[in-house]
Structure 1
Amino acid sequence: ITFTDFAMESHPNCDFDYLTIYNGASVSSPQIGRYCGNNGPRPFTSGSRYLLLYFQTDVSQSAMGFRATYTTDGLGCGGILHGNSGTLMSPNYPQNYPHNLECEWTINVDPGYHVSLNFDPNFFIEAHSNCIYDYVMIRDGPSEQDPLIGTYCGNTIPPAFNTSTNFLWIRFYTDQSVTNTGFVARWQAVDSQCGGTFNATSTPQTLTSPNYPGNYPHNLNCRWTIQAPDPAQRLRIKITDMQIEAHPQCQYDYLQLRDYPMDDTGRTLTYCGRQLIEFDSRKPTLQLNFRTDVNSAGRGFYLTYEIASCSRNITADNGRLVSPGWPDNYPHNSDCRTILRNPGRYIAVYFNDFYIEPHPNCAYDYLAFYNGTSTSDTQLAKYCGQTIPDPIFPQSDVILMQFVTDASVAHAGYDLTFSTSRVSSGCGGNLMATQGSFTSPDYPQPYAHQQTCNWLIRVAAGRVITLHWDVFDIEAETNCNYDSVAVYNGANAQAPLVGRYCGNTNPADYTSTSNMLYIRFTADQSVTGAGFRIVYSS
């Protein structure tokens, strides 16, 4: 681009009227410069197929403005690359690449194939520990909103990679300072072993890892997209068998669930080892990613997917339940019945959030609990309004939840956590939801004497847990030798002790260093207290 005329209101910092040029398609692209007065830009060649000119004027002085001419050539970078094999490289390779580049390539191979990408050994890009200056960014899909594979700089060659679809997106970004020789990358189409898009129905359908129940192959990168037909519907995933190479942070092989929104800001849950998971999506689309490396392999996974109905039967040690549509308003004219059952174990229900149409007798919308499987069984509680209810300790191994709504007012509904224990209702258990709450047994009534209760909070790999003490009243003693709550930074009481607490001062919030926390509550034979309520997030 060449500017033949240029005259604008002058200012040392060009704060009033100005022209800003970006070397790319948006204002987040590298800025070439901001210009005003009579000092226009010198002739300039973009680094890609985009150049953005941003012209800003204020309410006062005016001037002639600018006139420019532009031409195009084939020496830029970026673009859409169709074909089942090919090569791309940094501009000027093997000479040093220019400054202020933003090159974006989308590689598209034939449907039914995946993209295999390999970088040549001569990979030299300005180094930084977080690659904030010059970098190559790779995403598994056709756009910047798709899952991030990695961001690379320095002289460490990016690992070979197979996409989960027939698209791959690459950005090469450079700033205004240090430069180097850059890179050469080669791609080819390879047969897909897994992945695809599936439509859910109200009947459960099956999805397994490749070769299940035999060991899955190495170097897999599978992506399945599951969608419901109606925007108001949600999806339910039940993983009933999992044997994936174990690692505390699932760095090697893993199954990942990506929920709305699908970009880097969305809910992402990563699992490995041996886990049984039940998961409801927030929106009608869900993505599953299965990655394996070159080493160990296992049986993989077996799961079912379906449109999530509001009525269900659950046999599980623990979980999180939300009203239909949560956190948006629940639908009208619903009668949802959920049976919680775990033979031989006591169930406890804790409320995290609650807002159901208020009425003195809960005559319109309500959430009711019954000690059994039918509304003819003993009603334990019936709730509406905006006050978070107290926990429910039914002293039973089966309860019915009934959520009823009428044709008028609607609110957010409910968000609750349930757990089970072999000791007594509310005394310990496992908690595996991404967020939740729990209390001392019998809360808000004083806790009983002579009990020890253990809770293990275990969230998805790659997450950490934050504990917040909402209520705390435990028999006080200088060294907490009588009644106490102990927190351990790990999976059991052999993990590092975070602290042992008693008295009536809320302990400080604590964030774990891994995806597990262990909490032990001990009460002796004498003085008691109101107990505690803990809220956790991850």
Structure 2
Amino acid sequence: MGFKARVSIATCGGTYYGRRGSLTISRNAYTTNRNCSYHIMGPSGHYMRLWFRTLDLESSPNCTRDYVEMRDFNSTGEVLGRFCGSERGTGVATSANSVHVTFVTDAHQTDNAGFLMRFRASMEGCGGWRYDSAGELSSPGYPHGVPRRRRCIWRLQVPEGRRIRLETADWQLPPAARSARGCRSWLTVLDGIGASSPHLNFTESAYFYCAPDAPPVINSTGNQMTIIFSSRVGSTSARGFRMRYSSNEPALCGGAITSAPGSLASPQYPLPFGSPAECRWQLTLPSVANASTLVTFNAFSLPDFGECLHLSLRVKPDELGETTEVVCGNTTVPPPLHIPFTDFQLTYASPGEPWTSFFSLTYAVKPCGGLVSGPGQRIYSPGYPSDYPNGMDCAWLVEFEHQQTARVRFAWVDLGPGDYVSVLNGPGSTSPQLRRLTGSSTAAVALHGQSSRLLVVFHSDSSGQHRGFQAETESGCGGVYHTMEGAVESPEFPADYAASIECEWEVRAQPGYRLQLRFVQKFDLETSEGCQNDFVQAQWSAICGEDFTGESGEFSSPGYPNGYKNNLDCVYRILTMPQDYVTLNFVGPFFLEASPSTPAPRERASE
């Protein structure tokens, strides 16, 4: 029969070859609903540097509307940067000679001028990927000098199940590489290939090395390592360095996993682990169609304060290519993770002292759940239309097209004691919960989130069997927002909205915050008596502080007990009658950052 194809000419994008060049989007070419992809290839063995000469795009939180995005290597590589508005930054550098650039606009018409981006290959070849089990690398120009203002990044990946040993064969940096204020030219090593991989220390307190003596031997925990060399000062008399790497020893952790059920643990478990490490397990588990994975923690202590920047466990499904679960900051065993896939990467990151941590978990494949794409798809409890079995844990990821709001409507539920269906506002089981359904009800329940993804989790214990539930995905407007700031728009804004629609948005801030709402553009309302037909575009942000007028009450720092963000200025006012006085007691842990002019805080304080 053959085939039939349709060919169209792209109006933007393309492949560029060369040492230097530029990309530009003019005001006339800056139109709505664009998705332009550029692939830039420099000389082999060199890295590329990209920067903006001019940048004027529509600004939005996290650059979710119009943006320029740069990725290492290709369209699925590591994100090097995403830019919008007028903040040009200092540019980005790739790890090799290939970079993917995407320019995206939404349906909102703007009067911005576009951008002019320039790119240039490095003068000499350095850095790049190495996949051999052993090899050598050297500084640019070795052994005839060290060039000034160079940055080289080598990423090493040896066979699974092995660890990397890095040792120095020759070492001589310029005398000016080390000053009283620190290193001006230096070498650093990461335990992994990600931007957030932990540093491997050369000494007990230093992971940037610029001493005149050769650095000590460095060992990774797994099969990946990043080596970064930066030279702010150069010299023609200093040789530079030459290093060797090998992979003769087994890895401390990480590797490929293809069987289930099974278990994983931190290095040296059950002992606490206090060394820098990045352990990556790639799970490719056998399963039937529409299956999910249940991860259950047996022991857990990753006491990271704040936003899981240091100690964490992260889950990145292969299907999505992005992190959906982040677990940290607990000294008690967290609840299970319901992952709607059986192929995913699990990463344990530890920065080393003073943080020590440990964990132990088990994983198992469940024959239910999976990916549900778009509206009009039905989700049933296992065994439907018969009763569901005991001991089930299923996870369905509801995913709509970008900029569509995911919704799911339950026609009815019939669940036994201890069983539940939970709908979460995001792709992971650590996302905020919209609602947990229990018991029996024939009333329809519609739930919608703030983005194009929802997670539906079903759990049954061993107390008995019931009919289960029936649900269907649907499109619509409105949603529940858990973000600290954002925007609400009428459907199809700035175009006209359709007739006979009803949208409802709910904003839920963290404890300790109150909401601030402001109108950011003029809005057009259909004139009607009592304003019966209208729409609003609004933005909100969560600010901390509150006024109290009651006889008693309670308040907490923003985000308590998971840590507060930086640059906050919170005012809590307790308003009473003139003749009254106020008694204030701290009823929970009291932990604030100490400053040089104040004594160290106590863990608990009270009046």
Report the TM-score when normalising by structure 2.
Answer: 0.46
**Partner AA of 2:285 in structure 1:** V
Contact (CA 8 Å) 1:89, 1:183: kept in 2 or not? yes
Question: Quick check: 1:29 aligned with 2:197?
Answer: yes
SS of the equivalent of 1:70 reads strand
Contact (CA 8 Å) 1:114, 1:167: kept in 2 or not? no
Aligned to 2:116: none
Aligned to 1:236: 407
Which runs of structure 2 are paired with 1:159-170 in the superposition (5 Å)? 163-170=339-346
Q: What's the offset of the Cα at 1:289?
A: 2.9
**Partner AA of 1:145 in structure 2:** T
Q: What's the offset of the Cα at 1:19?
A: 0.9
Contact (CA 8 Å) 1:256, 1:289: kept in 2 or not? yes
Q: What's the offset of the Cα at 1:20?
A: 1.3
State which drifts further: 86-95 or 72-81: 86-95
CA separation of 1:103 and 1:253: change in aligned 2, threshold 3 A = same
Contact (CA 8 Å) 1:116, 1:163: kept in 2 or not? yes
Q: What's the offset of the Cα at 1:308?
A: 1.7
**Structure 1: tracts of 5 or more residues without a match:** 311-320, 342-350, 359-364, 370-378, 382-399, 404-411, 416-434, 437-463, 473-483, 490-498, 504-512, 514-538
Contact (CA 8 Å) 1:198, 1:226: kept in 2 or not? yes
Contact (CA 8 Å) 1:141, 1:147: kept in 2 or not? no
Which runs of structure 2 are paired with 1:295-306 in the superposition (5 Å)? 301-306=469-474
Which runs of structure 2 are paired with 1:42-121 in the superposition (5 Å)? 42-58=216-232, 63-73=238-248, 75-76=250-251, 77-84=253-260, 91=267, 99-112=275-288, 113-115=291-293
Tell me, in whole angstroms, the C-alpha distance in 1 between the residues paired with 2:384 and 2:525.
44
Q: What's the offset of the Cα at 1:255?
A: 0.5
Tell me, in whole angstroms, the C-alpha distance in 2 between the residues paired with 1:468 and 1:133.
29
The CA deviation string for residues 362-421 of structure 1, in whole angstroms up to 9 with x for no partner, is xxx43445xxxxxxxxx323xxxxxxxxxxxxxxxxxx5355xxxxxxxx7258xxxxxx
Which runs of structure 2 are paired with 1:479-490 in the superposition (5 Å)? none
Tell me, in whole angstroms, the C-alpha distance in 1 between the residues paired with 2:416 and 2:518.
36
Tell me, in whole angstroms, the C-alpha distance in 1 between the residues paired with 2:405 and 2:260.
36
CA separation of 1:309 and 1:485: change in aligned 2, threshold 3 A = same
Aligned to 1:258: 425
CA separation of 1:144 and 1:228: change in aligned 2, threshold 3 A = closer
Tell me, in whole angstroms, the C-alpha distance in 2 between the residues paired with 1:241 and 1:177.
52
Aligned residues: 360
**Partner AA of 2:474 in structure 1:** E
**Partner AA of 1:207 in structure 2:** I
Tell me, in whole angstroms, the C-alpha distance in 1 between the residues paired with 2:182 and 2:445.
57
Tell me, in whole angstroms, the C-alpha distance in 1 between the residues paired with 2:406 and 2:335.
34
**Partner AA of 2:213 in structure 1:** N
SS of the equivalent of 1:104 reads strand
Q: Give me the identity figure in percent.
A: 19
Question: Quick check: 1:413 aligned with 2:591?
Answer: no
Match of 1:284 among 441, 446, 452: 452
The CA deviation string for residues 153-187 of structure 1, in whole angstroms up to 9 with x for no partner, is 7xx88888774421354334445459999777665
Q: What's the offset of the Cα at 1:332?
A: 1.4
Aligned to 1:223: 395
Aligned to 1:337: 500
Tell me, in whole angstroms, the C-alpha distance in 2 between the residues paired with 1:500 and 1:98.
44
Q: What's the offset of the Cα at 1:330?
A: 1.0
Larger radius of gyration: 1
Report the TM-score when normalising by structure 1.
Answer: 0.50
Q: What's the offset of the Cα at 1:25?
A: 2.2
CA separation of 1:294 and 1:135: change in aligned 2, threshold 3 A = farther
CA separation of 1:24 and 1:278: change in aligned 2, threshold 3 A = same
Match of 1:401 among 533, 536, 542: 533
Question: Quick check: 1:366 aligned with 2:525?
Answer: yes
**Partner AA of 2:422 in structure 1:** L
SS of the equivalent of 2:458 reads strand
Contact (CA 8 Å) 2:168, 2:244: kept in 1 or not? yes
Contact (CA 8 Å) 2:425, 2:450: kept in 1 or not? no
Contact (CA 8 Å) 1:115, 1:187: kept in 2 or not? yes
Aligned to 1:508: none
Tell me, in whole angstroms, the C-alpha distance in 1 between the residues paired with 2:310 and 2:496.
56
Question: Quick check: 1:199 aligned with 2:373?
Answer: yes
Contact (CA 8 Å) 1:257, 1:288: kept in 2 or not? yes
**Partner AA of 1:18 in structure 2:** W
State which drifts further: 46-55 or 97-106: 97-106
**Partner AA of 1:166 in structure 2:** T
CA separation of 1:254 and 1:12: change in aligned 2, threshold 3 A = farther
- Alpha-carbon RMSD: 5.6
CA separation of 1:272 and 1:39: change in aligned 2, threshold 3 A = farther
CA separation of 1:402 and 1:53: change in aligned 2, threshold 3 A = same
Tell me, in whole angstroms, the C-alpha distance in 2 between the residues paired with 1:205 and 1:488.
46
Tell me, in whole angstroms, the C-alpha distance in 1 between the residues paired with 2:396 and 2:379.
9
Contact (CA 8 Å) 1:221, 1:290: kept in 2 or not? yes
Match of 2:475 among 302, 307, 318: 307
Which runs of structure 2 are paired with 1:131-530 in the superposition (5 Å)? 137=313, 139=315, 141-142=317-318, 145-148=323-326, 163-177=339-353, 187=363, 190-192=365-367, 194-201=368-375, 204-210=376-382, 218-229=390-401, 231-239=402-410, 241=412, 253=420, 255-259=422-426, 262=427, 268-273=433-438, 277-291=445-459, 301-308=469-476, 323-324=489-490, 330-338=493-501, 354=519, 357=522, 365-369=524-528, 379-381=529-531, 401=533, 413=537
